[in-house]
Amino acid sequence: MAADEPVAERTSHAGRTSRGFGRVLIVVYGVFAVSAFARASVQILRDFSEAPIAYSLSAFAAAVYIVATIALARDARRTATVAVLIELVGVLAVGLLSLVDSVDFPRATVWSEFGQGYGYVPLILPMVGLWWIWHTRVQPPTA
C-alpha cells in the first residue's frame, strides 16, 4: 500500500501528526479521552472513598488521553510525545501493579491489567502513537 503511494502525499505529512493515518489514530484517542473521562467522573462522583487511588488514577488517565488527543490533532508534537510516553508508562505500571497488588487497586481503571477490559487497546495505543509521531518527523535521520 505504501509503496505505490505518491511521494508528494507522503512528504506532505511531515511534521503533521493530524494527517493521513493520524485521522484514525486521533479518533481512537478521542474515544479513550471521552470514555476515560466519563468513567472517572462516574467513579469519583459516585463513591470516591471506596478506592481513592484507583479513581484518582482513572482521572489522571483521562487527563492524559485528553491532552494526547488535542496535541496530536493540533500537530503539537512535543506535547503529544510527552503525553503518549506518560500513557505508556502509566499502562505498564498500573498493569503490573494491578496484577501484583490488588489491595491498592480494588477498582478498575482504563489501565488495569494492561487495559484488558478494553481489548488491550490501551497497551497498544501508546506504541502506535509513538511510532506515528516518529513516522511523521520532519528530519529523516542521516543514516
Partner 1 sequence: MIALQVTCLVAALLLGVEGARGKAPLWWHLGVVAAVELLLVVQAVVAVVLLVQGDQIMGSAGVFIAYLIGTVLALPLTLLWGLGEPSRWTLVALAVACLVVAVLVLRLDQIWAGV
Residue among 16 and 137 whose Cβ is closer to partner 1? 16
Under rule CB under 8 A, residue 23 binds partner 1: yes
Under rule CB under 8 A, residue 60 binds partner 1: no
Under rule CB under 8 A, residue 31 binds partner 1: yes
Is there a contact between 58 and 43 (Cβ–Cβ < 8 Å)? yes
Is there a contact between 29 and 68 (Cβ–Cβ < 8 Å)? yes
Residue among 82 and 120 whose Cβ is closer to partner 1? 120
Residue among 5 and 104 whose Cβ is closer to partner 1? 5
The one among 10, 14, 38, 47 contacting partner 1 by CB under 8 A: 38
Start-end of H helices in the chain: 7-11, 21-47, 52-73, 77-100, 121-135
Residue partners of 102: CB distance under 8 A and separation at least 6: none
